[in-house]
Structure 1
Amino acid sequence: MRIAVLGAGAVGGTLAALLHRAGHDVVVTARGEHGAAIARDGLLLTGGWGDHRARVRVVDALVAPLDLLVVTTKVHDTAAALEAAARIDGTPALVVQNGLGGEAAVRDALPHSPVAIGLALFAASLLEPGHVDVTGPNPLVLGGDPAAVAVALPALRSALPAEVTVADDIVGAQWTKLLVNQVNALPAVTGLSVQEVVAHDGLRAVLTRGMRETATVARAKGLHLARIGAVGPDEVALLLSDDPAAGEAVPRALAARMGDVPNPASTLQSIRRGRATEIDALNGVVVAAGAEGGVATPVNALMVELVHEVERTGEFLDPAAVLARLSASPAQD
């Protein structure tokens, strides 16, 4: 297949390299030093799925014919990035992003393109320009428009050395992933890895409360949070139980699946590169949906506030400061 990856960062770069290794003809868009490094030396993949240097072309604009467009930008960058895809309306698209909203931007920009949604459970880091490293070689869940799924599924299964499954209810699966993505905010605020956050008693309790809020909002919306990876109905039941400590098994299980390599999570990676984060499409979505449904979300609201604060100041907060800010927040559950 001829495949274009729009935004070949950590996740997009991993997919581009794997698709290239599987024999597909891959072109990518990438900015700045990262794009220059790929154009010069190729895209280096290392880590849990082996090493491969993908000699992919870096382009500014996408042209037909293409079999599949893979959109892996940050949600807030989607609309601007899609200007490069103006001439390929009608090409099946696969949106693989953290947070909600990117697929709507694709449908607006490419109204004739069927759109699939991919939920990447694997963890990857952009170590340096042109170099992505897989730190958590986990599965990918797919759903959305059947016409786009029919194109994306065989391509992904040919390339990923992990299970690729199709979700019957992709919206419910997206909210399960939104719950999993609670692991992003505290590393971005503190500068710690996900594993370090989960190992800290106070931060783990905050993380668990944020997950509980997300599950409560989803339940208020009438959504069924199907299993993806380590999180499913049993874990949601733990989060919503009367025993707050029982829910801490959920972040513990997520951290255990990440292994020993420190996982910074994508939001901290954005902070370190001086880029705007996707926090509004993650915790911000929970806050907005909670307000609509009358569900209090003080932890998620504080995470949005603190991540934006770190974006502005460039200074991380220590765990004690985070816990103090939460204690001082006006709404507590």
Structure 2
Amino acid sequence: MRIAVIGAGAIGGTITALLDRAGHDVAITARGEQLTTISSSGLRISGGWGEHLARPRASAVLDATPEMAFICTKAQDAADAIAANAEWLTGIPVVIVQNGLDGVRVAEDLLPDSPIVGAIAVYAASYVHPGLIDVTAAGPTVIGIDDPTRRQIAAEVSAVLGEAMPTELVADFRGAQWSKLIVNQVNAMPAITGLSAQETLVHPVLGHIVTASMREAVRIGFATGVRFASLQGLGQTLLRAFALAPIAIGRVLPRVMASRMGDTPNPGSTLQSIRRGQPTEIDFLNGAVVRAASAAGLTAPINECLTELVHRVEKSGDFLEIEEVAAVFRRIG
């Protein structure tokens, strides 16, 4: 099948390499050194799904209509990327592989004649350097829709991608998005401190803050009618207990999440963006919780503070010391 992947970061690069290995004709859009390297030397994947050197057709924008497309940019870049490639995406299934809550809606507004399917990457991958993606933790891609009329298209997407990597098809995509939003609570603290996700989750001070932010996000989800999907060990029953239990008991969950990440330091996608000097998608992670709370007449002060601190590091380039982080959160209680 002719497949396009828009966005050549860790997730887009992984999908491209694995689809190439499965025998599909893959075109990828990329920028800068990544585009130059893929064009000249190919795209190599290593780690959880083994080694493979893919030779996709690479360009800044598409130049032909594929049979299926995957949008794998950061959430803040999605609208521009879709607009730049819109003439080649009209009328074909378009899969939005993104964090946050808004990706499918944005794509539907820009591509009203294309069936849009949502997807969530439940694996960890790092952009090591141009031309090399390392999968640090293998896992499925969750595929789903909230519009039942697109169930068959979602199943077709799952079958195609399933030839290359594990997939799971879900009926309640919003619930899956919210569960991934809780998982993505691990991203902010590494971006603020420069430490790995594992280090921040087990640290007595930083881990306590992450636990509090996760509980806040879960409570906002329940308050807005979310039914959390089962994802990476999280689900409706566990998260309800997590939100209601004393925080000392709730601390167990982030520690378990850290242990499941293994020994390879996991920087998280937000810290990877910081290290590359690129804007992060924090406004679509913790910031999404803040917006959901505001829309419901609620507040999310911990998630709001984490969002602001990540933006502070983005602007200054300087990570915060642990005591400095602790002092900030003492002020908000």
TM-score by length of 1: 0.95
For 2:232, the equivalent position in structure 1 comes to 229
Q: 1:283 aligns with which of 280, 283, 286?
A: 286
Q: Tell me the secondary structure at the aligned position of residue 246 of structure 1.
A: helix
For 1:66, the equivalent position in structure 2 comes to 66
> What displacement does 1:147 show?
4.5
Deviations 1:124-180 (A, max 9, x none): 0000011000001112211013243133111111001x3x11111100110111111
For 1:267, the equivalent position in structure 2 comes to 270
Aligned AA (1:230): G
Which has the higher mean CA deviation after the structures are superposed, 83-92 or 203-212?
83-92
Aligned AA (1:17): A
Distance 2:228 2:284 in 1: 18
Aligned AA (1:112): D
Which has the higher mean CA deviation after the structures are superposed, 221-230 or 122-131?
221-230
Distance 2:34 2:152 in 1: 33
Aligned AA (2:153): A
Q: 1:165 aligns with which of 165, 168, 190?
A: 168
The alignment covers a number of residue pairs equal to 328
The answer on whether the counterparts of 2:155 and 2:169 sit within 8 Å (CA) in structure 1 is no
For 2:84, the equivalent position in structure 1 comes to 84
Q: Tell me the secondary structure at the aligned position of residue 165 of structure 1.
A: strand
Distance 2:109 2:302 in 1: 32
Aligned AA (1:53): L
**Which residues in structure 2 correspond to 1:75-114 (within 5 Å)?**
75-88=75-88, 89-114=90-115
Distance 2:79 2:284 in 1: 14
For 2:158, the equivalent position in structure 1 comes to 153
Distance 1:320 1:238 in 2: 30
Aligned AA (1:56): P
> What displacement does 1:238 show?
3.1
Distance 1:241 1:104 in 2: 32
Which has the higher mean CA deviation after the structures are superposed, 266-275 or 292-301?
292-301
Q: 1:319 aligns with which of 315, 319, 322?
A: 322
Distance 2:153 2:276 in 1: 33
Q: Tell me the secondary structure at the aligned position of residue 69 of structure 2.
A: strand
Deviations 1:25-60 (A, max 9, x none): 101011111111111110010011100000111123
Question: Residue 201 in 1 paired to residue 204 in 2?
Answer: yes
> What displacement does 1:64 show?
4.2
Distance 2:236 2:325 in 1: 30
> What displacement does 1:100 show?
2.1
Deviations 1:167-212 (A, max 9, x none): 1110011011111100110010001111111121111111111110
Question: Residue 174 in 1 paired to residue 184 in 2?
Answer: no
Matched residues, percent identical?
46
Aligned AA (2:265): P
For 1:141, the equivalent position in structure 2 comes to 142
TM-score by length of 2: 0.95
Gaps of at least 5 residues in structure 1 are none
What stretches of structure 1 move > 6 A for 4+ residues in a row?
none
Distance 1:125 1:223 in 2: 30
Q: Tell me the secondary structure at the aligned position of residue 251 of structure 2.
A: helix
> What displacement does 1:253 show?
2.2
The answer on whether the counterparts of 2:118 and 2:173 sit within 8 Å (CA) in structure 1 is yes
The answer on whether the counterparts of 1:179 and 1:214 sit within 8 Å (CA) in structure 2 is yes
Distance 1:153 1:224 in 2: 22
Cα 1:79/1:34, change in 2 over 3 Å = same
> What displacement does 1:3 show?
0.6
Q: 1:300 aligns with which of 300, 303, 327?
A: 303
The answer on whether the counterparts of 1:136 and 1:257 sit within 8 Å (CA) in structure 2 is no
